[in-house]
Structure 1
Amino acid sequence: MRALLGARARHRWVHLVIGGALLMPYFLVGSVVVGGVAGGAGSFDSFPRALVTFALALPLATVSGLVPIARPLLVFGVRALCGVAPAALADGPARSWDARLRTSAWYTLQVALGGVVSGASLALPPFTVFLIALPVVPGLRHSVYSTGGPLATGWGLALAPAAGIAMLLTLAACSAAAGALLARLAPVLLGPSPADRLAAAEQRAVELAVRNRLARELHDSVGHALSAVTLQASAARRVLDSDPAFVREALAAIEETTRRTVDELDSVLGLLRRDDGDPGAPDLATPGLAALEGLLSRTGLDVAYTLEGDPSRVPELVSREAYRIVQEGLSNALRHGARSPVTLHVAVSERELTMTMENSWSGAAPVVRPGGGRGLRGMAERAALLGGHASAGPDGGVWRLDARLPTGGAR
């Protein structure tokens, strides 16, 4: 009884009735054609003419289902009433002919089954009431006796209520079966096509790339700043009473580092708030190779920096990513090497930019963030997106960073 009359069965019956309502305009057009051929006779005057009209209405519905916007409208009804998993259905208009044909087949099936179930739902309940009331209403019995037939017999009158109830149960069973059939075919006919899956995968890839980009920017800018501030504050605390001049320098470096990091953080948060339709929204305010000397002066490390070539020849995108890679290398030097000296060599050639950074490494746990982080992977991703390569790790007693980025163009 739950399968025949439960909430899901009722919802699917409503869905079928909607299909019957959608069939009516096509049925009226077919009735005009049948009436013209039959000399003005109506489609409801005889059952054969009604079947012919029904057969003429279905091709019209099939053509209507080819309209691209039909699919999202049909999917909305299926999701609301048929109990189909939302992820199994496609979103958006049907663009390809394969998707249009499958949508048209679904629409034709819905209006066909809906027309039959709707017609039976209109005709059978009044007739069932008549059969149930027949044994107890004298006027109805007299009318049956006057016309004759099976109901005019004693057994006919006795079994009439049971026959009426059986008809209603049969209608409920047919409606439940038709609804279950539509629910089973919905993922096949209204599900995403290969083109839809490819478009969805590309959209997810774009969103994931944006998320990864923002994560790298936040990690490199904020992570480096916090590492530098932590080290500077720790050193200043140890010499607070003995070396006031160093403490003043450390506080000034902390102030400059946090001010610049707040600007970069505001830039990243601006991207998160940006509307895709806003052409004037700002991009990430990431500095380039020209700002390396300022970065090195604020780190609190003794860095021996050498530069070969002209950094202005490096494309802006490559210059920004190179800055972030150096920044992550300095963060690693702060975490693993404390205040040990660092050597940084940057060389610019016609075809590539190379960067090498070295600092002492004892193998002990990081002094700033013992748990480690994701900086090395993010650094490798930055280089890979430009068609280059970056790696970092211990080499004997030295922590070494090597990066090569192409300067002739970026993918």
Structure 2
Amino acid sequence: MPRLLLPLTRAVTYTRWLHLLVGSIVPFVCAMIYPGLTRPSPADWALIAVLPVPLVLAAAVVPETRRAEGLQARLMLFPGPQARVPGEEDPGVSAAPSASWSDRVRTGAWLVLRLEVGLADALVTGQLMALSLSLAGAAVGEPAVGDAPLQVSGTGWAYALLIPVPLLVLVALAAGAGALMAEAARRLLGPSPRERLAELEERTERLLERNRIARELHDSLGHALTLAVVQAGAARTAGDPKFTDRALETIEESGRAALEDLERVLMVLRETARPPGARPALGDAGRLLDSARSSGACVDAEVTGPLERVPGPVSREGYRILQEALTNVLRHAGPVPVRVRIAVDEAWLRLEVRNPLSAAAALAVTGGGSGLRGIRERAALLGGKARTEPDGGQWLVHVDLPLR
């Protein structure tokens, strides 16, 4: 019994009922013009159901009609928080204008279905309510009220017990018709293949952007924190005031750069009107090399070819790859000799970072991690390739990025 009475407690039952009744407005308005609503015959009702069809089919040709119907269906056919029915957050109904004739045909089918079901729902609602009023009249000793489909004969208080029956039947019918219309809305107003493809592309773009932001934060903040840890440990071990001053200066510079990167990323996330600052590129690589040298690493750097020929996206990603490679050296190997090679030729930007590989460092880096994975992802997104592996007692990071 509680399961049977469940539709009575759901707000969506009544919003769907109202949605069905709204669909009957057009045929009733047309019926007022022809053939009229003064005691219409069954043939008149059949004509009333057919006359508005060309009108709604013409409305379906307008692209915005689909948007309007989709918004109404989302609002009234599917339960929200007020309906106490969780699990239907995505109704699967589009709210976009028609983009093809297939969308227009489906919208036309939906409008005709809504018109016919709405008219039937309005007639059934009127008749069952009239029957309930007739039962109420019989209960108080009055004759039958209205044109109920079942005339009540006689009077008596026992009829009062039957008054809720037509209303309960009406709610059950409305709940069933509403559920069927909700399923029809998913099929006829659901996203077209083109919309599904566009949504998939948009979701992919969002995921790629989130991954890019995650890599930016990992590389920038990870580099700054690694430098801070290494510099602080070296300064404490050295016990030299001059070295401590240089270490603090390096920590300050790297921290300031990390804050600038963080502010730029946050501006992108907040979608502020102010344009974010320029991202560092390979032209700023000297700052990375100086930071590594100030941490005790002996950096041998060689740059060949014109860096100004490197396209902006490639140069910026190359900077981040170099930053992550140097961060890994300081994090896993400490202040060791590092060999950096940056070469630009006609078609490729080639980056290479080598450093001695101790047993502990080998165990740390060969296990993989988000940093090495980020290097490979950056290279792959630009159509390049990256190798991160031991090579003759050294750890090698070799990246080739295409210039075109």
TM-score, length of structure 2 as denominator length: 0.84
- Partners of 1:65 and 1:108 within 8 A in 2: no
CA positional deviation for 1:256: 1.9
1:212 paired to 2:208: no
- Aligned equivalent of 1:107: 111
Whichever residue aligns with residue 52 of structure 2, its letter is A
Residue 56 of structure 1 is matched in structure 2 by: 51
Q: Is the 8 A contact 1:336 1:361 kept in 2?
A: no
Check if 1:117 corresponds to 2:121. yes
Q: Where does residue 342 of structure 1 map in the other structure? A: 338
Displacement of 1:305 after TM fit?
0.6
1:24 alignment partner AA: I
Mapped to 2, the partners of 1:67 and 1:3 lie a distance apart of: 41
Tell me what 2:326 maps to.
330
Query: Could you give the per-residue CA deviations for residues 218-256 of structure 1, whole angstroms, max 9, x where no partner exists?
Result: 11111111111111111111112xx33322222222222
Determine the C-alpha separation between the residues in 2 that align with 1:248 and 1:381: 38
The match for 1:376 is 372
Shift of 1:135: 6.4
Name the CA distance, whole Å, in 2 between partners of 1:244 and 1:5: 78
Aligned to 2:290: 297
Q: 1:252 corresponds to which letter in structure 2?
A: E
8 Å contact from structure 2 (residues 77, 178) kept in 1 = yes
Cα distance in 2 for residues equivalent to 1:170 and 1:203: 46
| 2:355 aligned counterpart, secondary structure | strand
2:38 is the alignment partner of 1:44: yes
Tell me if the contact between 1:391 and 1:401 (Cα under 8 Å) persists in the aligned partners.
yes
1:306 counterpart residue number: 302
Q: Give the Cα separation in 1 of the matches to 2:162 and 2:52.
A: 32
Q: Assess, with a 3 A threshold, how the Cα gap between structure 1 residues 9 and 103 changes in structure 2: closer, same or farther.
A: farther
In the aligned structure 1, how far is the partner of 2:376 from the partner of 2:152?
87
Q: Does 1:90 align with 2:69?
A: no
Residues 136-176 of structure 1: per-residue CA shift (max 9 Å, x gap):
52x638x9xxxxx9866x7x989977887654454344323
Q: Per the alignment, do residues 151 and 207 of structure 1 end up closer, same or farther by CA in structure 2, a change over 3 Å counting?
A: closer
Is residue 246 of structure 2 the alignment partner of residue 249 of structure 1? yes
Distance 1:176 1:353, change over 3 A: closer
Aligned residue pairs: how many? 387
Larger radius of gyration: 1
Instruction: Report how far residue 326 of structure 1 moved.
Output: 0.9
The 1:282/1:5 distance shift into structure 2, 3 A limit, reads: closer
Assess, with a 3 A threshold, how the Cα gap between structure 1 residues 229 and 368 changes in structure 2: closer, same or farther: farther
Work out the percentage of aligned pairs sharing the same amino acid.
Answer: 36
So what's the TM-score if we normalise by structure 1? 0.82
Check conservation: 2:138, 2:152, Cα contact below 8 A.
no
With over 3 angstroms needed to count, the CA separation of the structure-2 counterparts of 1:206 and 1:177, relative to structure 1, is same
When the two chains are superposed, the root-mean-square deviation of aligned CA atoms in Å is 3.3
Describe the superposition over 1:273-321 as per-residue Cα deviations: whole angstroms up to 9, x where unpaired: 224xx4x6235x2222222222211122210011222222222222221
- Counterpart of 2:196 in structure 1: which amino acid? R
Q: Which runs of 5+ in 1 are unaligned?
A: 36-41, 144-148
Contact 2:16–2:175 at 8 Å: present in 1 too? no
Contact kept, 8 Å, 2:305 with 2:344, in 1: the verdict is yes
**Range 252-261 or range 217-226, more displaced:** 252-261
What are the ranges of 5 or more consecutive residues in structure 2 without an aligned counterpart? 80-87
Does the Cα contact within 8 Å between 1:17 and 1:117 map onto a contact in 2? no
Q: Report the AA paired with residue 57 of structure 1.
A: P
